[in-house]
Structure 1
């Protein structure tokens, strides 16, 4: 009897000591965390419980649930590298756990649901499903597993937690950019689950260290985002980076591991100076999406970005008006050149236009995990114009990938090569842009696979002048320049010599003055051999990404292109894009030319007829006739804007190699360092260096009497 009493007292003391253990433990259904981790744990739980929960989704999941803990809708033998569908199992378990712990769900603390969560979690832990992609094991699986472990911790057995720990331990802090953020977040949450404050601190610091301008992959000085080398990845890794940084900021808020004060400003700049530029009418720019050209993906990415903006409104209340404006496509107008990414955007409240280029510096795109397998030319001057936001929505199965809008391509009969991401470069050096924030010019001195062409885009107010010269190739196949390739919508109107033809569907080798389709006008000031079709085409998502079944679909596609013939030599083209055009507008522009244009191998220039705005691409040192004569001593890009007695000059170096440039202008102007000699003003501009090489430099000249 005495012995039993002693044992009972020892047990009671043990329980009491366990209940007060400040290191954190689990007592019955109560979860305890050490003091320094309590707020972090609370934030994590609140974050997951605030994720969208839908009882109808749970009902559907339960209908397909099997007694062994699996789902009938999942093929567990699938090993595909990209979009591994077996991970949906963990997504389903997470959804069950969120609804189980959410007081607003009818499944809140439902015992039957708890059993199914237990079974489904065991099904994964016992089988440890593996894909052939390292990303799934080190990043994807731990990321999807952790929410369930936190939400269900009080009901999990020690055996379950030990098995889960094996899977979580695969995440290590390494790599850089978004991969490092993913891995570090997994390590931080695993450390929280294991009650390891020191490891939480290390992981939190690793995440915050990626919230800075990156020397390699990550956020660049122009607020674009790179991953997998110098490659624009706004919508793939860059969007995930933004989402995860906001998530981690929410996790560590009001904890010892909180973000430094300047990090919220950095996140703000990522959105307002970067991401918002490529969001247009609930659509995310194709050219900013990386390799993820999936079904409905442009709308999904837009939704994800908008969700980030809404969250930032809460975290950064002082700038809520700016975030509201970012959510309205009609607010942001102007021009931005991302000089680190060979990418330029021009937009107004009525239209969106972008040009994506590549060079020896910048990778144009990538094809990884059998995704984007037709995208060989996606970085070769693709020019997308949208007014409705629907022109290219899910167009990928039907695109002629050798006639992407804006590109000049050899039309051979070979299949497009699938190559490593580092090989999606051109041999071009003179690639870049100049921008004054309102208007801009992009240039691509194209050199790839034996084809050369000097291509430029002058984005002036509500029109885009597209020029090509010096087109050269020794090939037995025709060379074409694609003007556009979008969904056909209604009839086409063609104007020639004051005569108008309506409801046109198809034409070969025509020479119109202008053409109108789906509210977009095409002006041809110097003519050219143009082809037009609106055929019903067959296509399949399987030809875009192998994750899709080879189902054949059909659509009407509008396609417009120049033909330059075989073995072209010094061929050229010239066309003007007019968003929101009408027949009356096009007739007027054809009669009263809006621009003076020069287009040759040495110089491409555009000047408005009133002379207030002009742009020049100097492919070599030389002189333009604009403003009575403007000379440069180095190849460069220049824009001029005349205001009262001012001449505002914007200059950039597309090679990113020059340190200075000397400009000579007819007339007497004054600025710091200027010299007036023999009726001409000369000034030497210092150009940006290092990470800012290629950025626009502006100078204001005062006209002297």
Structure 2
């Protein structure tokens, strides 16, 4: 519970408050109280962005503060104000404003210039930097602020390049500096900077919830308006910022925002929980904390949606400290910047750690039960991230580090284990599956969800990430699979799990900002919360390729089927069973049907009649009874971040890969594939599964239906691309059906309408059933006895969600 600030507390946190505001000390009580409120908000913002509750002489804070001072010293020594730049390497004068795409870099340099001034301000304010309270730093900050104002960021300037730099990036950094240096800036300086912000971020920027003012962008804009109000003592601005948050809270059914199924979308069609979603979560946490206890506290009851989303939307994509790449959009291509090639490479772990810190901060405004639960989750994720320990994260900010340290050192908090279970996110064509010791995630695309996102010269070759990419991680192994320069070195036509045409695609093929989406409806699945049947009707990007792909997520395996694979591109068509990044040294042994394969690189083999394969330190692969023809490839691949991101480093990287794939030829017609993925399995367990030919029955693998049965698990799953009969199941129309028979004599039948087109649907299971014990409102009729008949009404409004029916078996 937040305790409102007292008047004495307001005055204690900042010196010279009344004088800094230019207020008459004889003013009335109301005006004085208002002055106190803004002073207190400035003090609170300082604490939020500088961090609190840590010793500057203790590690790792002492080293971080020293590093901050070193960086600030470098900026201080290289600052050289001249027309068009504040630093020689960050020219922001746009030579051709009519070429908007090329202008992005120049506006971005302006943004970065303000960020460097923010770094200087932090070094000035923080203890232990060697520059604390330095007059040279103070004067340099003043010089830099005035130069940028007079030269580029002012009320008379017309913006160019990326709107983000003018409305979010630059003003956020500028206002942070204004708060940190408030008592050293003149009234004229503050007025100039406020006028510039008002020019580029007018109240109308949040006038309607549309365009670039939605989701995470809206939260960022509200942060700008709130800080603008605090710096300028404008109650109206702060109130506007608070009220403009409200449209972010409700669930959406299309476009940007949070969905009832846990999806988070930005840029209309891009799954973005791990990038823009991180910004939204962090921004809301900061604003909730900033305004708590003030006259402008966020009290909208809708904010509970955000609290609920911590476990409903974010936690499913966090695994032992990392955030899954399938919901991070073009951010996966941001590895090492060309501007600072010595910087630490960004990856899924380093993107995940700020989310952990944001959850801790958000918990301060949630219920006691939620806060306790979340701190336990964060403690577990932090402890289990052996690959990239969050408390040693070299890019995590001091405030974020302090929040994670507070959880680590809290003896009353018990670490929460990774949950097991399956989650479907139909509104962004994603799925996650967690089992003891491993986790997997699936990325697909449909008419609502883009193949991939490119833009600003980023993620130039992410073309096939929505073509059924199947990611997986182990709890104590392979946790850096996609972290270790995977994206710049992997063959972009051989992403694990995908079926693609090797037709050459241009960089950024399909267009910017998720413009390319396949004209398909049947993408989704059904789950009982532990197992699932998932399917994708695949159409290739700028290709004639079509295919039906199915995944059945079970206890220790993912069963993968493909059918109807046809293409007339004249290029090879391949399904990549897996493509493991073996790092810079490689060496993971591959065994195929008891035969050890070479560990040296490169080599390529055609494995005819392969029944199983095992990759040491990773897991196993089982092929259908009778074996399959699979290609195996060991290679050393070269690449650089600049090949997939125009702003990336050109330093050449080398990584070793082991690839297993099925070659469907150059003109396949109704080609198929089938295999099991067993993450973390030993060679003996993989071999045993291959020998147990009765464990799995493939009921169908055609262009019309795909389905499997695993009697020992009581599992049956069928993707009906068209209505028909498969095994004991009959469906009147296209749908997904999965059944889990339980040992207590009950069964759960999950049914979904991935196409969102069924006004009615009948599903029949030829199994003796005595009663329906629970059902959703969409079930309008049922018949029991020697067979179960389920009649569903209109499913078009269910957004592809699973309709679960529980029955008592005879």
Same-fold call, TM cutoff 0.5: yes
Give the equivalent residue in structure 2 for 1:519. Answer: 618
CA distance in structure 1 between the partners assigned to 2:257 and 2:556 by the alignment: 33
User: Once structures 1 and 2 are overlaid, which stretch shifts more, 244-253 or 544-553?
Assistant: 544-553
CA distance in structure 2 between the partners assigned to 1:291 and 1:485 by the alignment: 20
Give the equivalent residue in structure 1 for 2:491. Answer: 400
How far apart are residue 368 of structure 1 and its match? Answer: 0.7
The answer to whether residue 641 in structure 2 is matched with residue 546 in structure 1 is no
Structure with the larger strand share: 1
Give the equivalent residue in structure 2 for 1:458. Answer: 552
How big is each residue's C-alpha offset from its partner over 1:304-346, in whole Å with a ceiling of 9 and x where there is no partner?
Answer: 1111122234333322342134333542221100011110000
**Secondary structure at the counterpart of residue 551 of structure 2:** strand
CA distance in structure 2 between the partners assigned to 1:389 and 1:471 by the alignment: 32
The answer (yes or no) to whether the contact 1:395–1:487 under 8 Å persists in 2 is: yes
The answer to whether residue 404 in structure 2 is matched with residue 354 in structure 1 is no
The answer (yes or no) to whether the contact 2:721–2:735 under 8 Å persists in 1 is: yes
Equivalenced residue count is: 678
Q: How does 1:359-378 map to 2 (within 5 A)?
A: 359-378=446-465
Give the equivalent residue in structure 2 for 1:642. Answer: 741
How far apart are residue 266 of structure 1 and its match? Answer: 2.2
The answer (yes or no) to whether the contact 1:472–1:568 under 8 Å persists in 2 is: yes
Runs of 5+ in structure 2 lacking a partner?
A: 1-20, 53-60, 95-102, 154-158, 207-212, 336-345, 382-416, 774-780
CA RMSD of aligned residues (A): 2.7
> In structure 2, do the counterparts of structure 1 residues 451 and 123 end up closer, same or farther at CA, with 3 Å as the change threshold?
same
The answer to whether residue 539 in structure 2 is matched with residue 447 in structure 1 is yes
CA distance in structure 2 between the partners assigned to 1:456 and 1:33 by the alignment: 61
CA distance in structure 2 between the partners assigned to 1:42 and 1:77 by the alignment: 32
The answer to whether residue 604 in structure 2 is matched with residue 507 in structure 1 is yes
How far apart are residue 500 of structure 1 and its match? Answer: 2.5
The answer to whether residue 788 in structure 2 is matched with residue 681 in structure 1 is yes
How far apart are residue 209 of structure 1 and its match? Answer: 2.8
Give the equivalent residue in structure 1 for 2:467. Answer: 380
CA distance in structure 2 between the partners assigned to 1:700 and 1:203 by the alignment: 47
> In structure 2, do the counterparts of structure 1 residues 24 and 193 end up closer, same or farther at CA, with 3 Å as the change threshold?
farther
The answer to whether residue 218 in structure 2 is matched with residue 180 in structure 1 is yes
**Secondary structure at the counterpart of residue 195 of structure 1:** coil
Give the equivalent residue in structure 1 for 2:776. Answer: none
CA distance in structure 1 between the partners assigned to 2:251 and 2:533 by the alignment: 26
**Secondary structure at the counterpart of residue 58 of structure 1:** helix
CA distance in structure 2 between the partners assigned to 1:406 and 1:68 by the alignment: 49
Give the equivalent residue in structure 2 for 1:165. Answer: 194
How far apart are residue 468 of structure 1 and its match? Answer: 0.1
CA distance in structure 2 between the partners assigned to 1:86 and 1:57 by the alignment: 21
How far apart are residue 412 of structure 1 and its match? Answer: 2.2
The answer (yes or no) to whether the contact 1:406–1:482 under 8 Å persists in 2 is: yes
CA distance in structure 1 between the partners assigned to 2:754 and 2:455 by the alignment: 29
CA distance in structure 2 between the partners assigned to 1:508 and 1:23 by the alignment: 84
**Secondary structure at the counterpart of residue 765 of structure 2:** strand
CA distance in structure 2 between the partners assigned to 1:114 and 1:423 by the alignment: 46
CA distance in structure 2 between the partners assigned to 1:22 and 1:47 by the alignment: 30
How far apart are residue 252 of structure 1 and its match? Answer: 0.8
**Secondary structure at the counterpart of residue 84 of structure 1:** helix
TM-score of the pair, normalised by structure 2? 0.79
**Secondary structure at the counterpart of residue 291 of structure 1:** helix
> In structure 2, do the counterparts of structure 1 residues 609 and 412 end up closer, same or farther at CA, with 3 Å as the change threshold?
same
The answer (yes or no) to whether the contact 1:74–1:89 under 8 Å persists in 2 is: no
CA distance in structure 2 between the partners assigned to 1:504 and 1:100 by the alignment: 54
Runs of 5+ in structure 1 lacking a partner?
A: 1-14, 26-30
Give the equivalent residue in structure 1 for 2:35. Answer: 34
Counterpart of 1:56 (choices 22, 45, 67) is: 67
> In structure 2, do the counterparts of structure 1 residues 257 and 64 end up closer, same or farther at CA, with 3 Å as the change threshold?
closer
How far apart are residue 179 of structure 1 and its match? Answer: 1.8
- Bigger Rg, structure 1 or 2: 1
How far apart are residue 101 of structure 1 and its match? Answer: 3.3
How big is each residue's C-alpha offset from its partner over 1:167-201, in whole Å with a ceiling of 9 and x where there is no partner?
Answer: 31111333222222212221122122222212321
The answer (yes or no) to whether the contact 1:69–1:122 under 8 Å persists in 2 is: no
> In structure 2, do the counterparts of structure 1 residues 334 and 325 end up closer, same or farther at CA, with 3 Å as the change threshold?
farther
Counterpart of 1:480 (choices 574, 592, 595) is: 574
How far apart are residue 152 of structure 1 and its match? Answer: 1.4
The answer (yes or no) to whether the contact 1:441–1:459 under 8 Å persists in 2 is: yes
CA distance in structure 2 between the partners assigned to 1:649 and 1:421 by the alignment: 38
The answer (yes or no) to whether the contact 1:227–1:233 under 8 Å persists in 2 is: yes
Give the equivalent residue in structure 2 for 1:702. Answer: 808
The answer (yes or no) to whether the contact 2:257–2:264 under 8 Å persists in 1 is: yes
How far apart are residue 77 of structure 1 and its match? Answer: 4.5
Give the equivalent residue in structure 2 for 1:6. Answer: none
**Secondary structure at the counterpart of residue 281 of structure 2:** helix
CA distance in structure 2 between the partners assigned to 1:16 and 1:562 by the alignment: 74
CA distance in structure 2 between the partners assigned to 1:32 and 1:681 by the alignment: 70
User: Once structures 1 and 2 are overlaid, which stretch shifts more, 642-651 or 137-146?
Assistant: 642-651
How big is each residue's C-alpha offset from its partner over 1:390-428, in whole Å with a ceiling of 9 and x where there is no partner?
Answer: 112121111111121111111124535251334321122
CA distance in structure 2 between the partners assigned to 1:557 and 1:16 by the alignment: 65
CA distance in structure 2 between the partners assigned to 1:104 and 1:582 by the alignment: 51
The answer to whether residue 319 in structure 2 is matched with residue 280 in structure 1 is yes
The answer to whether residue 708 in structure 2 is matched with residue 606 in structure 1 is yes
**Secondary structure at the counterpart of residue 109 of structure 1:** coil
Counterpart of 1:151 (choices 180, 188, 192) is: 180
